[in-house]
Amino acid sequence: MGFMGDLWAQLGSIMATIMFVYAMSEKFFPSHLVSYLRKYTHRVSGFVYPYIQIHFHEFTGERLKRSEAYTTIQTYLSANSSQRARSLKAEVVKDSQTPLVLSMADNEEITDEFQGVKLWWSSNTIQLKQQSFSFYPTSDEKRYLTLTFHKRYRDLITGSYLKHVLDEGKAIALKNRQLKLYTNNPSSSWHGYKSTKWSHITFEHPSTFETLAMEPKKKQEILKDLVKFQNGKEYYAKIGKAWKRGYLLYGPPGTGKSSMIAAMANFLNYDVYDLELTAVKENTELRKLLIDTTSKSIIVIEDIDCSLDLTGQRKKKEEDDDDDTEMKDPITKKAEEEEKKGSKVTLSGLLNFIDGIWSACGGERILVFTTNFLDKLDPALIRRGRMDKHIELSYCCYEAFKVLAKNYLDVESHELFPKIEKLLGETNMTPADVAENLMPKSIDEEVQTCLQNLINALELAKEEAKKKMEVEAKKKAEEEEAQLKAEKEKEEYAQEEVKANGKISGENVEENGSNH
């Protein structure tokens, strides 16, 4: 013990002497001599000191822009900081699901391990002595992260570990980010201070695939398709296609098209861009909006059959040419002037937006169109390759009802379920109507009451459908009877006409014979 104590005392004395000599040299030696001294000191220490350090500064460049690498590494380290660091600092992070994030405090150090190699991360701060003039405000201190590792692992750290840290940091940030719902601004407000093409709010729609009322088999099919797309970066690059996919959701109103979009966004953790086509003046604006969207997003055009008259634009020019030759009243002229001021987005422009050259200006995007009337859309708009997957959202089936019963009443079975299953097989009712009947309207309503309300609504809908069918059948029978009657009258008229022509012909023959 005495020997070890003497050894440490000698080492301490040597280190103190070295530090004293270094301090004196810094103070009294000329600057060029000090620079040479530092240069050769680093060389000598390189033979003795076996570790390498890499520094990542918080701000870089002339404009002191916050370093993306620093932010990503800090996100990666924050996942382990609360478990390993002794001193922590709490920061409020904007647009995150966890607004209060814990990270290493200044001058704190934590360890990390990668493929059996031990590394050290430290958070450092430098107090600035002088503040130089700059148009870009700076802080009184500079922060940076330092990575320390043994020099024998240089290739592993610089080749694999740093990539691993950046990838993990981006994945953590993506997982913790707060989803946003965007809508496009009119082009008149695109210019000016802090103007943007898209406005956004926090996306807080609670719909998930677990709460979505649809057949389990179809639900699993959609989920597998989404997972395949999300993990398909290398596959899309291999086949030479832009990393995007189109979904067409069609069906009657109230069948859950908007809920499906929200469930897709929550499952993939993608932002949603709700594109209002009527606010887009021309095709060039449409392209600019596309460029301004981010990857990992869903671009939605709801009720596309109502957004623009895309199906009628091919014949529009011919109709306008015909109308120019006719006199138009003032009301018609005013209506046409208002129409000219509106959107000039063409079908061709929309097709290029979906799968033209500009559609490849970003990766990992999903385009979703919704419509209540599939037959109103131009076939070129919804062909495979543009809208890759067509999903029909139809009336409520029994499996979908069970999901709604679980969501709204927290029941998985009941004695009234068989009767409801029978009625759903005989009646068309949308999931929205089923949900409305299942929802308790007061604190006194129980499960039995709500289920009975649904049964009553289904029976009423069944009776109305029956009456409607009877009316339609009667109308059809009357139309057929009227058609038969018209055909019969037409046939009788033709026969009378033939007889009349024959009689006239006979009289002419007799007259000609008497003349001879």
SS3 457: helix
Angle between helices 257-268 and 216-230 (to 10 degrees): 40
Q: Are residues 252 and 380 in the same domain?
A: yes
Distance of CA 258 to the CA centre of its chain: 12
Q: Are residues 164 and 92 in the same domain?
A: yes
Domain boundary among 129, 161, 176: 176
What's 177's DSSP letter? Answer: B
**CB of 244 within 8 A of CB of 365?**
yes
Which position has the token pair 């007259």?
Answer: 511
The two tokens of residue 320 are 């306008």
Q: What is the pLDDT of residue 392?
A: 94
Q: Are residues 237 and 131 in the same domain?
A: no
d(CA 88, CA 110): 11
What's 186's DSSP letter? Answer: P
pLDDT-based confidence at residue 345 (cuts at 50, 70, 90) = confident
CATH number at residue 293: 3.40.50.300
pLDDT-based confidence at residue 494 (cuts at 50, 70, 90) = confident
479 assigned to some structural domain: no
User: Buried (b) or exposed (e) across 55-72, using 16+ Cβ within 10 A?
Assistant: ebbbbeeeebeebebbeb
37 assigned to some structural domain: no
SS3 207: coil
Q: What is the pLDDT of residue 24?
A: 61
252 assigned to some structural domain: yes
207 assigned to some structural domain: yes
Domain boundary among 176, 206, 228: 176
Share of the chain above pLDDT 70, in %: 72
243 assigned to some structural domain: yes
Dump pLDDT digits (tens) for 404-450: 999 999 999 999 999 999 999 999 999 999 999 999 988 888 999 99
d(CA 210, CA 216): 10
DSSP 84-137: H-SSEEEEE-TTBSS-EEEEEPTT-EEEEEETTEEEEEEEEEEE-S-----SS-
Nearest-10 Cα torsion for 434, 439, 445, 451: 20
Amino acid identity for residue 483 in this structure: Q
* Torsion 392-231-302-288 (CA) sign: negative
Q: Are residues 352 and 236 in the same domain?
A: yes
> What's the domain range around 252?
181-308+343-392
Domain boundary among 148, 176, 204: 176
Where helices occur in 303-382 by DSSP H, the ranges are 304-307, 313-323, 330-341, 347-355, 379-382
Q: Are residues 271 and 370 in the same domain?
A: yes
- Count of alpha carbons within 13 angstroms of residue 435, beta-carbon side: 18
Lowest mean pLDDT among 78-92, 149-163, 192-206, 362-376: 78-92
Which position has the token pair 């060039």?
Answer: 284
Structural domain count of the chain: 2
202 assigned to some structural domain: yes
Between 43 and 279, the higher pLDDT residue: 279
300 assigned to some structural domain: yes
d(CA 397, CA 406): 14
Q: What is the CA radius of gyration of the chain?
A: 38
Q: Are residues 254 and 355 in the same domain?
A: yes
Residue 296 scores a pLDDT above 60:
yes
Q: Are residues 377 and 293 in the same domain?
A: yes
The two tokens of residue 336 are 């046409």
Whole-angstrom distance between the N-terminal and C-terminal Cα of the chain? 164
Average pLDDT value for residue range 121-137: 64
Q: Are residues 354 and 375 in the same domain?
A: yes
Q: Are residues 213 and 267 in the same domain?
A: yes
pLDDT-based confidence at residue 1 (cuts at 50, 70, 90) = very low
pLDDT-based confidence at residue 49 (cuts at 50, 70, 90) = low
Q: Are residues 121 and 209 in the same domain?
A: no
d(CA 338, CA 333): 9
pLDDT-based confidence at residue 203 (cuts at 50, 70, 90) = very high
Residue 181 scores a pLDDT above 70:
yes
d(CA 14, CA 209): 69
d(CA 377, CA 351): 13
d(CA 308, CA 8): 84
